[in-house]
Amino acid sequence: MTQPPQPVPTQETQPFWDAARDGRVVLWRCDDCGRLAHPQAPRCPDCLSESLRARPYAGRVLLKGRTVLTVPAFEGQAVPAPVAECVIEDEPRITLIAQDPEDLTRTLAPGAPVTLSFTAPGGGVPLATIGGAA
């Protein structure tokens, strides 16, 4: 089976991937206005400050939507492949896409809290995976 495409960590995103390997979510928080931002943000999307620092996020993750891939996205991918779109409760402008191999979101409504875990297929970069209702 072909390996799925892997994210390529950069200097800016390495703290996110390191935390993911440890099973944690890390987001950037602006020291000036407090806004949470995606790891790759070079500056705060609200106040444009460059004072962003990686910090652990212990808040809730909510289901925004889901789909089931019925056509392989890459050679060798098993289908059907459920995928969930999740948002950070404290900053719903941040979206995380997660695999849902057990189709746990099938019976959940948008807005339901979910648990994210991280799995590293073949020892590669850890990918977000739905771990169940929070």
123 and 91 housed in the same domain? yes
2 found inside a domain: no
One-character DSSP codes across 61-88: EEEEEEEEE-S-SSTT--SSEEEEEEEE
89 and 45 housed in the same domain? no
User: Residue 36: which pLDDT band, with cuts at 50, 70 and 90?
Assistant: very high
Q: Quick one: average pLDDT of 38-42?
A: 81
Query: CA 108, 64, 83: angle at the middle one, nearest 5?
Result: 75
Helix (H) or strand (E) holding 17: helix 14-21
Domain that residue 78 falls in? 59-134
Kindly report, residue by residue over 15-31, the tens digit of the pLDDT: 888 988 888 888 999 99
19 and 69 housed in the same domain? no
Euclidean distance between CA atoms 82 and 124, whole angstroms: 21
Residue 125 near residue 6 (C-beta atoms within 8 A): yes
> Domain tally for the chain?
2
Please list the residues that pair with 118 across neighbouring strands: 128
User: Residue 47: which pLDDT band, with cuts at 50, 70 and 90?
Assistant: very high
41 and 104 housed in the same domain? no
67 and 119 housed in the same domain? yes
| 128 or 3, higher pLDDT | 128
pTM over 0.85: no
